[in-house]
Structure 1
Amino acid sequence: MKHLPLFNQISKLSNSLKVFKKNFFGVPFLAFFNIMTLLILGGVSIYAKLNNKGRGVERLFSDPFNFWFPYEGIFTGVSEVLGCLPVAICAFTFGVLRQKDRGSRSAIFLFFSALLLGVFYLDDRFRMTLIMSRLGISKKIIYLCYGSAVFLYGVKFWRYIKTTHYLPLVAAFLLFAISRLEDLLETPHQALHAMLEDGTKLLGLVNLALYFWYVCHHEVWRHFQQSENR
């Protein structure tokens, strides 16, 4: 490299920058989210340095792991994975369908499904309900709002849902309702409480993930069939 003329080195550097720009800025939101993440991490690092909060930063990345009980929290981890799957699948399928017809009934259904399930996932993952309850907001009010959102979602899209194999979806929301009711009742028996609250939620997430996987697979397959027939 050092034996090449200077202008050849500059030309190669320019071509490398073009390739980088094409790949980095060619993917939607890639640059935005990378820059935002770097800004957040940089801001947290500066704050920790100025206020001697290095231990606090470490806690942001710490893993809840118990060496003596490696199975601890395993079902919670599985639930978190299953919880984000329907959101990702619905969002991706909506992105595929909107290229053909962004106003189609299935695309709108999947968009609001991703939105609703995304709110539920964020609430569960970041303990938003627990935080709000500690701030004085009753859990009953929070669950009433979520229940109203699910009811409106069902009323709005019932005609479309009826055209699908909707039993897993109905079962999932019923299981989630049982889980939330158990959280309010607080059964004294620990094992029974865990099964009724977290066990029903896990089973509901299994049904939810399978339902949206099937619906999205069917919609994408139909989309490509229509494209081939044109």
Structure 2
Amino acid sequence: MPRLSDLYSQIHKNLFSLALVIAISSIPIGLVVFLRVWKDIPPEALLRDPVMFLGGEVYVGMASQFGIFLWAAAAAIPLFAGYLVGCHGESSKLRNFLVASGFLSLLLGFDDVFMLHDEVFPDSVEKIVYLVYASAVLAFLVRFQSIIRRTDYLLLVMAFVFFAISIGLDQLHLPDINGFFWEDSAKIVGIAAWLVYFFQASAFSINVMLLKQRTAPIPQVALKR
């Protein structure tokens, strides 16, 4: 059994981590309380699994749920790599590239998961939302072009191509094809390419950090006589 003093020491040492846990968990819980008070939405509608709440089959939304995992990984991997690179004093531009990659993935994933451009925003501003996202991506590419050119960016190009196909099919509404299948299939391929690219870019950044550490000159220590 751990001693009380050890437990106190653990609490004191992990105050920031404990505060972070509380802050993160307060976001969805606070949202549930807010919507309950504001819109009288029952908490179970927000807390329970949609399939269970609506009484649907377990396979409903299976591919969409898979996409959520891909987006989550695409956000978490570069954010963690950025943390590692920053902790080891690597260049701020490399760290900023990884952090920006993570938050950009988080933004796009958040829109996809909660269907912001499809359901939340009115149709009149859907194109504006697309323009905002495109501007964010363009700013990211311009800001970090020197780093991106050093990576295997073919998969990033592939992701953009399939995202463009998905958006195009969503806008065209072609009557002779199964729009939902091809649109969402293209989106899943795009997300997968996006994830693999940022996995490789994160690995590249960590390798750069490790290589610089190996080749760093050993500091000379004066010996006392």
Distance 2:30 2:161 in 1: 43
Looking at CA atoms only, which structure, 1 or 2, has the larger radius of gyration? 1
Residues 64-97 of structure 1, C-alpha deviations (whole Å, 9 max, x = no match)? 3378743322111111100111111111111111
Report how far residue 141 of structure 1 moved.
1.5
Number of residues of Structure 1 aligned to a counterpart in Structure 2: 212
The 5 A counterparts of 1:63-142 are 63-65=49-51, 69-101=57-89, 103-134=91-122, 137-142=124-129
Distance 1:152 1:105 in 2: 14
> Contact 1:86–1:208 at 8 Å: present in 2 too?
yes
Percentage identity across aligned positions?
A: 27
Report how far residue 133 of structure 1 moved.
2.8
Distance 2:35 2:105 in 1: 33
Which residue matches 1:62?
A: 48
Which residue matches 2:132?
A: 145
Structure-2 change in CA distance of 1:139 and 1:122 (3 Å): same
Distance 1:155 1:40 in 2: 34
Structure-2 change in CA distance of 1:14 and 1:35 (3 Å): farther
Which residue matches 2:200?
A: 214
C-alpha root-mean-square deviation of aligned residues, in Å?
3.1
> Contact 1:176–1:201 at 8 Å: present in 2 too?
yes
Structure-2 change in CA distance of 1:194 and 1:93 (3 Å): same
2:157 aligned with 1:170: yes
Where structure 1 has 5 or more consecutive residues not aligned to the other structure, the ranges are 1-11
Distance 2:215 2:128 in 1: 51
Structure-2 change in CA distance of 1:13 and 1:229 (3 Å): same
Report how far residue 218 of structure 1 moved.
2.0
Where structure 2 has 5 or more consecutive residues not aligned to the other structure, the ranges are 217-225
The 5 A counterparts of 1:11-26 are 12-22=3-13, 24-25=14-15
Which residue matches 1:224?
A: 210
Amino acid at match of 2:94: S
Amino acid at match of 2:80: F
> Contact 1:102–1:108 at 8 Å: present in 2 too?
no
Distance 1:144 1:47 in 2: 29
Query: Under a length normalisation based on structure 1, what TM-score does the superposition of the two structures give?
Result: 0.77
2:191 aligned with 1:200: no
